[in-house]
Amino acid sequence: MLVDGFGRTIDYMRISVTQRCNFRCAYCMPNTPMNLGDERDDVPLESVLNFVKVAIEQGVKKIRITGGEPLLRSKIVEFIAQIYAFAPQIDIALTTNAFLLAPLAKPLKEAGLMRINISLDSLQKDRISCISKRDGLEKILQGIEEAHKVGFKIKLNMVPLKNLNDDEIVAVLEYGMQKSIMVRFIEYMENTHAKGGITGLKLSEILTRVRQKYPAQVFEKEIVGPATLFRIPKESVQESLGLQMARDYIFGVIAPHNDDFCKTCNRIRLSSEGKLIPCLYHDNAIDIKEAMLYGDTDEILSRLKLCIQNKPEKNDWGKNAISSRAFYQTGG
């Protein structure tokens, strides 16, 4: 079992398998060249698997595959199948922009993937193009449909940005209601790699937009996860959309600027460069690439424990703080 210096059990690993991405989202990597990197630059997946096995043996229960865009990895289905074969009890999840998802949904499901988080920042074609620099809405929606069809547990992630997509908060929420999929709104995380001049909405602002139409109330903090959950009575959904729902609709807001965001943090990250990151909002990291490449399990374990030891109590996200981390390397 991995326990940090503040008594938190670390049983969740987020693993970035590539920094490459086919989108250039305004809040992430808008000024990065489209031809960034090559698969040969990525840490080999068989080497990443060396780390995954050690982490699982130390009590890790959930692994989320991220990027960049993880579906750009040519052997991502085989990689997930190998994790599942090693430890079928592990909750394996993946975060994607869904542009490449539709033809891969069924193979990923058969490989052992359980959950998918999909970015959906707008339901308007021109806005997706503006935010991501990619004409991608049709393929995103196809990916969502196919993932839903094959039985994935899905969450939709939206980053509301002022004067870009903030007037679509309710529209995206209602899309989730119609599909019986949870929507999570993510506060924009200020970083030096984002487009200059963009501004996100904070939790209170997001709730104000929602409450203009729906009586959303706090439900609970996710037991394992960063979101605060809110409940909309099923009667309100039925009255507004005519949807017959068996239960109230639940949505989430991820608010890293809040003081209590770190209290139950149970995760660390492996970057696409082969570095262990104990906290997304601190600059410290531990290089583990060579140990993974050589399959040195003792050294992998030593560095993993050192990372846990270095995990801070809370992030240093001040009111005017701007992260220098490249989220496309760490998976956000």
| H or E element, residue 169 | helix 169-179
Over residues 97-107, the mean pLDDT reads 98
Residue closest to 160 by CA, chosen among 151, 144, 152, 171: 171
- d(Cα 94, Cα 18) in Å, to the nearest integer? 13
If you average pLDDT over each of 28-42, 249-263, 293-307, which comes out highest? 293-307
301 Cβ contact list (under 8 Å, min separation 6): 54, 58
What pLDDT shows up at residue 261?
61
- d(Cα 149, Cα 88) in Å, to the nearest integer? 22
DSSP conformation class of 313: S
Does the global pTM surpass 0.85?
yes
138: its two tokens? 């049709």
211: its two tokens? 């409450």
242 Cβ contact list (under 8 Å, min separation 6): none
User: 316-330 pLDDT, tens per residue?
Assistant: 655 556 666 667 667
CA 253 to chain CA centroid, Å, is: 13
User: 195-252 pLDDT, tens per residue?
Assistant: 888 999 999 999 999 999 999 999 866 555 678 999 999 999 999 999 999 999 999 9
The verdict on whether omega for the bond into residue 295 sits within 30 degrees of 0, i.e. cis, is no
Residue closest to 14 by CA, chosen among 48, 55, 56, 65: 65
190: its two tokens? 């200020």
Percent of all residues in the chain with a pLDDT value above 70, rounded to a whole number: 92
